[in-house]
């Protein structure tokens, strides 16, 4: 991130109560939320109740939101400045929230990070037109002028003139089944410098495992791991994310996998963070191919995990 961004990000936060209706919030709420946060947004996200209070459920949501934000904020602050045409420094960070749904994540990022910077742009990409329209209306009410919401498919978003040629950070929160893979493909096409992914309901690999169960049982005792449908779902989910991490490493990213929230809150709590380094790991590519072969998933090599022909770095600067 540029020096200008770091200085703005580190600037003193607005005093408590800025943008709040005087007397509308209890001390308990003011102490729980970040200074300068939009109360209207927190109500819209059901983090605050309609009368501006916190209950047990909303406290849990608030804790999860801040926990996720801490990871993404760190990613954004670590991004070095980009250079544009003629060597000019580009200071505006761009984020694409893929499969945005109601764009809760995008709104939180804007409210907590981009609003104070007065620069940067967030694109919410969603195929359901009614959700895009609602997000547009909410952004207008909140005055979040540097948020755009696009009613686009994965393929269209990759080539659309409504998006810049490069995106700094690609996010996908609870992207079901292959939607996480679609977000990765989008990010690679856009030369993303970072990813923050929370996969959900991975079923594609489990379907492949189930389809080849009889053959694999005769071939390897490892097939016992997915002989039963419940185990196939669990093994398939774990394997899917392992393959995604290896794929990102093979494409030049440093990958970290961490717990998003405690297991007592959700079983869908794996957070994959990836930072572009330009070093495409040959060993990761070989392990990816070996795993696909071992589990009889070679078909995924071409349609999900297309590997680079060489280890030469791409230009993500």
Mean confidence (pLDDT) of the chain: 84
For the chain, give me the number of helices (H) and strands (E)?
A: 14, 9
Cα→Cα distances 296→163, 208, 221, 282, Å: 37, 8, 13, 21
N-term to C-term CA, the chain: 12
More confident residue, 112 or 259: 112
Q: DSSP state, 90?
A: E
- Predicted local distance difference test score (pLDDT) of residue 175: 74
pTM for this model (two decimals)? 0.84
- Predicted local distance difference test score (pLDDT) of residue 242: 95
Cα→Cα distances 233→90, 204, 226, Å: 44, 9, 8
- Predicted local distance difference test score (pLDDT) of residue 6: 52
Its CATH architecture, for the domain 89-303, is: 3-Layer(aba) Sandwich (3.40)
Confidence category of residue 227, pLDDT binned at 50, 70, 90: confident
Residue 17 has pLDDT above 50, yes or no: no
- Predicted local distance difference test score (pLDDT) of residue 65: 87
- Predicted local distance difference test score (pLDDT) of residue 277: 95
CA angle 114, 120, 121 (to 5 degrees): 100
Determine the Cα–Cα distance for residues 206 and 239; give it in Å rounded to an integer: 9
pLDDT digit string, tens, across residues 32-83: 899 889 999 999 988 898 888 898 888 888 888 898 999 999 999 998 776 6
Mean pLDDT of 26-37: 89
- Predicted local distance difference test score (pLDDT) of residue 311: 56
- Predicted local distance difference test score (pLDDT) of residue 203: 76
Q: What are phi and psi of 11, to 5 degrees?
A: -65, 150
Residue 9 has pLDDT above 80, yes or no: no
Determine the Cα–Cα distance for residues 194 and 276; give it in Å rounded to an integer: 6
Residue 106 has pLDDT above 50, yes or no: yes
pLDDT digit string, tens, across residues 167-188: 999 999 887 768 899 999 999 9
165-184 per-residue burial string, b: 16 or more CB within 10 A, e: under 16: ebbbbbbbbbbebbbbbbbb
Tokens of 310: 């060489």
CA angle 139, 60, 39 (to 5 degrees): 30
Confidence category of residue 310, pLDDT binned at 50, 70, 90: low
More confident residue, 166 or 80: 166
- Predicted local distance difference test score (pLDDT) of residue 167: 95
Contacts of 150 (CB under 8 A, 6+ apart): 123, 124, 125, 126, 132, 157, 160, 162, 163
- Give me the percent of the chain exceeding a pLDDT of 90: 48
Residue 23 has pLDDT above 50, yes or no: no
């Amino acid at each position: 991130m540029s020096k200008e961004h770091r200085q703005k990000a580190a600037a003193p936060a607005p005093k408590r109560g800025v943008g709040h209706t005087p007397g509308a919030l209890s001390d308990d709420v003011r102490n729980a939320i970040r200074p300068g946060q939009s109360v209207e947004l927190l109500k819209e996200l059901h983090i605050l109740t309609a009368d501006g209070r916190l209950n047990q459920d909303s406290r849990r949501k608030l804790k999860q939101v801040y926990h996720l934000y801490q990871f993404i904020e760190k990613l954004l602050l670590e991004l070095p400045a980009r250079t544009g045409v003629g060597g000019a420094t580009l200071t505006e960070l761009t984020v694409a929230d893929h499969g945005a749904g109601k764009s809760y994540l995008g709104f939180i990022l804007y409210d907590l990070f981009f609003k104070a910077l007065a620069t940067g742009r967030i694109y919410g990409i969603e195929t359901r037109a009614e959700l895009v329209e609602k997000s547009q209306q909410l952004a207008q009410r909140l005055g979040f002028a540097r948020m755009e919401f696009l009613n686009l498919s994965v393929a269209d978003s990759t080539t659309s003139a409504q998006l810049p040629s490069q995106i700094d950070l690609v996010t996908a929160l609870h992207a079901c089944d292959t939607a996480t893979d679609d977000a990765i493909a989008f990010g690679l096409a856009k030369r993303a410098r970072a990813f923050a992914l929370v996969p959900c309901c991975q079923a594609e690999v489990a379907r492949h495992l189930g389809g080849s169960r009889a053959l694999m049982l005769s071939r390897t005792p490892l097939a016992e791991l997915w002989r039963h449908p419940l185990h196939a779902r669990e093994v398939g989910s774990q394997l899917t994310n392992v393959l995604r991490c290896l794929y990102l490493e093979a494409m030049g990213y440093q990958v970290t996998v961490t717990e998003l929230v405690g297991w007592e809150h959700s079983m869908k709590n794996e957070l994959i963070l990836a930072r572009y380094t330009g070093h495409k790991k040959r060993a990761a590519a070989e392990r990816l191919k070996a795993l696909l072969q071992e589990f009889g998933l070679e078909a995924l090599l071409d349609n999900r995990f297309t590997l680079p022909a060489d280890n030469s770095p791409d230009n993500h600067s």
